[in-house]
Structure 1
Amino acid sequence: MATSFLTAIKKHFGDGHYPGDEYGGAGGTVGSGLPSGSPGNFMFATGIECSYPTIDHGRTRRDLLAECDHYNRYQEDLGLVREMGLKVLRYGLPYYRIQRGPNDYDWEFADLAMAEMQRLGITPILDLMHFGVPDWLGNFQNPELPVHFAHYCGAVAERYPWVRYYTPVNEIYVSAKLSAMDGLWNEQLRDERAFVTALKNLVAASIMGNQQIALHRPDCVIVQSESAEYTHELRTERTPRIQLDNKLRFLALDLLYAHHPDGEVARFVRDNGLTDKEYDWFMAGEPPGYQIMGNDYYGRNERIILPYGDVITSMDVMGWYHITYEYFRRYSKPVMHTETNTFDAADAPVWLWKQWVNVLQMRKSGVPVLGFTWYSLIDKVDWNIGLSRKEGTVNACGLFDLNRKPRPVAEAYRQLLQEYGQITIVPHGELFEQTTRSATLKVEI
């Protein structure tokens, strides 16, 4: 019988645990254990709900940081983040309270919260505009918004130079749609031209804010949180408006990332006030820094329209993976699952695991996924009606309830972190760690 190569190896090197294995190979790790915060770590996160749109035609401000008592319990809330074993937090400073006027800032609460995050070793992804603006700026129809917001972003980056990760404007498409097309927030209009105005002002604000952040942090990482939407129309004869809406969901990112939109969409925005000069300005190039495409997904993001017009929530027919992969093919950006939850506390652990399966599937497809976020840390209020009225209904979607007691999903998330907490951003990702080098210009080749 021929001698096996194993005989020769064992004779010269022994029976396993060979010298050198500690640098990889059989001595490697599967990535289990709580997140370590190393540069190559996948970014497991939660977020603190911070929406602050106005309703009642500007008379009422919905400030979820206040309604969920975060201003009084911020130390306790940030302590819960650390207790969960999480290193990353999507965190929204209350923009409308900080920028009191041009070059006039009130940093009192922001300084306290940011100092506590720094003390606890939490990495914030700072959310600088979340569905609202200061009263003195009016609403998203104001063409001065990009200028004043850019100054604010620069002031934040200068005041907190240790922060690297930012979401300048959260969910641009949703902000514009609910404020100017659906009539729920802020300007409360129902008009296509108002929608385009809001959207272009918000994208411009994001771009100019990004520019000011990059002046202070050339290595900034911009995590653009945007809703992953889709409507299934179950009719043999399609409705033109619904088909257009399935294209408009890309519009905010098209303008942000200098991607020429579909011809029908280009005609729609020009018919509704986007000038050729404005269009050329958006198409000149994408913003500076490292750009991450964050996609938010809730079951209610995906809808089915039945033959007679009834609308039902489809809950994961395509799911985060299939919808986000569509966005990835369009923009070729690394992705992050930036928001998810469900309002049923009993179903939340299953929803968490289903979303994680989507993330794993995306990784298997070879797409770089930066991180995952359960949103939010504590329960929300009135999101079942889109904050359109002050009813005080508690949405049981948090890792913790409003008394800061854990919900079942908190234990499920801990299990997920224990199993996967030290995986790399991409498989074999030791080659692709996040560095502190300044970003360089990206061009198509």
Structure 2
Amino acid sequence: MAKGFLTHITEKFGDGGYEGDQYGGAGGNDGSGLPTGAPGNFMFATGIECSYPTIDNGRTRRDLLAECGHYDNWQKDLQLVKDLGLKVLRYGLPYYSMHKGPGRYDWGFADLVMAEMQRLEITPILDLLHFGVPDWLGNFQNPELPVHFAAFAGAVAKRYPWVRYYTPINEIFVTARMSAKDGAWNEQLCTDKGFVTAMKHLVAASIMANQKIAEQRPNCIIVQSESAEYIHELRASPCAEIKLDNKLRFLSLDLLYAHHPDADVLTYLLDNGLTRKEYDWFMAGEPPGYQIMGNDYYGRNEKIILPNGEICTSVDVLGWYNITLEYYRRYRKPVMHTETNVFDAKEAPIWLWKQWVNILRMRQEGVPVLGFTWYSLIDQVDWDIGLTRKVGTVNACGLYDLDRNPRPVEEAYRQLLREYGQITIVPHGELFEVTRQPATLKVEV
């Protein structure tokens, strides 16, 4: 009886365990193991909560870096990131206290933290404006904001040339809405004109900051975190206002990425102070560098409006996957899940796993997902009321509490990292690494 091919292979090479298998064959890495930080690998991250809007008509500054104890524990906080096995940290410098005036900066705290981050080999996604501005700039109605903020961004990029990842302005849409449409922060306006004014100043500031960063770092990677939102209206005849709101959620990214908004949105903009010349400036092209669309998702991002007008939180009817897929199809940008949490520490582990299922589902669609962020490292304060009053309620949403003791979600995240820590951005992504070359293409190919 003639020998079969397996007999010949076994006699010549053995019964499995071949010498080449470790190079992506049967013995290759399945993506498990703690993150290595290799180019092309998926970026697992956390963040340091750093919001600093003003309330009480500018009389009170909410500085969450102070209220959550980071100024006193910054070394320990960075070490917690390192010990957890994370290579990436969304980190916000306290812009409001650093920028002392035109051309004047206080680098004291930033220099210490940035040096330690570099020593620990943590890759920062550097957040340069998080819901507030220095007192001397006033608020987001100030048309000088883009010029002064761009100068600050350029100074940061020049001082820390090793930093490549930036979020020039965190959640532009949320910043403009809470400050000028909802009346909660900073200028505390409740007008459409105030909202449009804040929006155009913020987006212009982000664009010009991006320009100044690219001058210092031509291969910069911009992770634009934005809130992924949706309103479900349960009425037989949807009202025009809610239909418009569900389009306005795209407004910051439309202006940032030079994507023409729908006609009713453009009419709204022109009716509330955006000039045709300003609109043409925004539509001239997207900012330089490599652009990543970051989508922040909390259960409270989705709302249901009942027939009687009552508003309730829908938690995750659509979820991050469905909402972000809509954003992706609109802008065709690589994606990152840039923020998520829940306020109940017991529910946090299952919420983490649910968000991870969303990411795996997105990867199955072939969408390049750059990374995932549990936000934040440490518990937060008063976010249950949107920082609108200084109450001091601790929101148990961190990987660690305010005493730097681990929450249950910390162990869940460790488990997630051990299981998936070395996967690539897309399958076989080691073929397509994040290179060091400057960005050049301005069109889709």
- How high is the TM-score relative to the length of structure 2? 0.98
Distance 2:18 2:98 in 1: 59
Shift of 1:16: 1.6
Are the aligned partners of 1:299 and 1:315 in contact in 2 as well (CA < 8 Å)?
yes
Distance 1:57 1:202 in 2: 20
What is the aligned partner in structure 2 of residue 193 from structure 1? 193
Q: Secondary structure at the match of 2:126?
A: strand
Q: What aligned pairs does 1:77-88 form with structure 2 within 5 A after superposition? A: 77-88=77-88
Are the aligned partners of 1:288 and 1:441 in contact in 2 as well (CA < 8 Å)?
no
What is the aligned partner in structure 1 of residue 439 from structure 2? 439
Shift of 1:24: 1.6
What is the aligned partner in structure 2 of residue 221 from structure 1? 221
What is the aligned partner in structure 1 of residue 248 from structure 2? 248
Q: Secondary structure at the match of 1:35?
A: coil
Shift of 1:239: 1.2
Deviations 1:289-337 (A, max 9, x none): 1100000000000011111011111111100000000000000000000
Query: Which letter maps to 1:254?
Result: D
What is the aligned partner in structure 1 of residue 307 from structure 2? 307
Shift of 1:3: 5.6
Give the stretch that moved more between structures: 250-259 or 27-36. Answer: 27-36
What is the aligned partner in structure 2 of residue 39 from structure 1? 39
Q: Secondary structure at the match of 2:436?
A: coil
Are the aligned partners of 2:325 and 2:362 in contact in 1 as well (CA < 8 Å)?
yes
Distance 2:65 2:282 in 1: 33
Distance 2:23 2:354 in 1: 34
**1:238 and 2:238 equivalent?**
yes
**1:93 and 2:100 equivalent?**
no
Distance 1:6 1:357 in 2: 39
What is the aligned partner in structure 2 of residue 260 from structure 1? 260
Distance 2:42 2:187 in 1: 39
Shift of 1:15: 1.8
Shift of 1:2: 7.7
Query: Which letter maps to 1:216?
Result: Q
Are the aligned partners of 2:161 and 2:217 in contact in 1 as well (CA < 8 Å)?
yes
Are the aligned partners of 1:157 and 1:217 in contact in 2 as well (CA < 8 Å)?
yes
What is the aligned partner in structure 1 of residue 128 from structure 2? 128
Aligned residues with identical type, % of pairs: 76
Q: What aligned pairs does 1:338-377 form with structure 2 within 5 A after superposition? A: 338-377=338-377
Q: What aligned pairs does 1:318-357 form with structure 2 within 5 A after superposition? A: 318-357=318-357
Distance 1:329 1:216 in 2: 31
Distance 2:428 2:67 in 1: 43
Deviations 1:1-35 (A, max 9, x none): 88643233334433223343232221311111111
Distance 2:3 2:191 in 1: 81
Are the aligned partners of 2:203 and 2:256 in contact in 1 as well (CA < 8 Å)?
yes
Deviations 1:229-266 (A, max 9, x none): 00000111101101100000000000000100011101
Distance 1:203 1:334 in 2: 20
**1:386 and 2:395 equivalent?**
no
**1:183 and 2:220 equivalent?**
no
Distance 1:281 1:385 in 2: 37
**1:50 and 2:55 equivalent?**
no
Are the aligned partners of 1:341 and 1:375 in contact in 2 as well (CA < 8 Å)?
yes
Distance 2:128 2:407 in 1: 28
Deviations 1:360-412 (A, max 9, x none): 10011100000000000000000001000000010000000111111100011
Distance 1:297 1:203 in 2: 21
Query: Which letter maps to 1:359?
Result: I
Q: Secondary structure at the match of 2:79?
A: helix
Give the stretch that moved more between structures: 101-110 or 7-16. Answer: 7-16
What is the aligned partner in structure 1 of residue 26 from structure 2? 26
Give the 3 Å change call, closer, same or farther, for CA 4–235 of structure 1 in structure 2: farther
Q: Secondary structure at the match of 1:23?
A: coil
Give the 3 Å change call, closer, same or farther, for CA 304–2 of structure 1 in structure 2: farther
Q: Secondary structure at the match of 2:22?
A: helix
Distance 2:190 2:24 in 1: 58
Are the aligned partners of 1:42 and 1:423 in contact in 2 as well (CA < 8 Å)?
yes
Query: Which letter maps to 1:417?
Result: L
Root mean square deviation of aligned Cα: 1.1
Are the aligned partners of 1:196 and 1:274 in contact in 2 as well (CA < 8 Å)?
yes
Shift of 1:88: 0.5
**1:139 and 2:146 equivalent?**
no
Q: What aligned pairs does 1:388-427 form with structure 2 within 5 A after superposition? A: 388-427=388-427
What is the aligned partner in structure 2 of residue 164 from structure 1? 164
Distance 1:97 1:73 in 2: 18
Distance 2:190 2:124 in 1: 35
Q: Secondary structure at the match of 1:329?
A: helix
What is the aligned partner in structure 2 of residue 103 from structure 1? 103
Distance 2:337 2:299 in 1: 14
Distance 1:120 1:296 in 2: 27
Distance 1:268 1:166 in 2: 31
- Unaligned residue ranges in structure 2 (runs of 5+): none
Shift of 1:188: 0.2
Q: Secondary structure at the match of 2:440?
A: coil
Query: Which letter maps to 1:429?
Result: G
Query: Which letter maps to 2:388?
Result: S
What is the aligned partner in structure 2 of residue 67 from structure 1? 67
Are the aligned partners of 1:382 and 1:389 in contact in 2 as well (CA < 8 Å)?
yes
Query: Which letter maps to 1:268?
Result: Y
What is the aligned partner in structure 1 of residue 202 from structure 2? 202
Distance 1:96 1:56 in 2: 17
Are the aligned partners of 2:41 and 2:430 in contact in 1 as well (CA < 8 Å)?
no
Are the aligned partners of 2:22 and 2:29 in contact in 1 as well (CA < 8 Å)?
no
